[in-house]
Amino acid sequence: MDEDNHSLAFDPESRVKLIFLAPRSSTQDILQYLLKKIPRELGSISPHKHSAFITSGADENKVEMVVNGSVEVLRSAINELKLVHPFEEVGYEVYRLECAS
C-alpha cells in the first residue's frame, strides 16, 4: 500500500491484518518498537493485548498483526514499520478482516 494512495476507505472501527517479513535477528526489536509506538491499536485481539503471530523461516520470520482503527492508524503503523525495519524496502501485505455476527 502506497502512502499516497488516498482511495483507501476504512470504517473508523475497522480491523485489518498487517503482514511483513523480518530478519530473525530483528523480529523482536521490530515488534517491541511497534507495540511501544502504537500500543492500543496494534496487536489487540480481545482479550489479548500486544499479540503477533510469528512463523519462522530459514532467515526471516513472517509476522502477522491485527491493526484496529482508521486508515490513519494503519498508515502510522506502516510508517513506523518502515522506520524501524532494517531493510531499505519493506515488503508488507494488508488484509481487511471481517467478523461474523
Report the C-alpha gap between 70 and 93 in whole angstroms: 17
Question: Would you say residue 50 lies in a domain?
Answer: yes
Amino acid at 69: G
pLDDT in tens, 72-86: 999 999 999 999 999
Biggest distance spanned by C-alpha atoms of the chain: 41
| CB contact at 8 A, 72 and 79 | no
| CB contact at 8 A, 83 and 73 | no
Question: Would you say residue 14 lies in a domain?
Answer: no
Question: Would you say residue 60 lies in a domain?
Answer: yes
Question: Would you say residue 2 lies in a domain?
Answer: no
Question: Would you say residue 37 lies in a domain?
Answer: yes
Does the pLDDT of residue 68 top 70, yes or no? Answer: yes
Question: Would you say residue 65 lies in a domain?
Answer: yes
Average pLDDT, the chain: 87
Give the count of beta carbons closer than 10 Å to the beta carbon of residue 26. Answer: 16
What's the pLDDT score for residue 1? 45
Residue 44 pLDDT grade (very low, low, confident, very high; cuts 50, 70, 90): confident
pLDDT in tens, 1-28: 444 444 455 555 689 999 999 999 999 9
Q: How many domains does the chain have?
A: 1
Region of 75 (left: φ > 0; alpha: ψ -120 to 50; beta: rest) is alpha
Domain containing 78: what range? Answer: 26-96
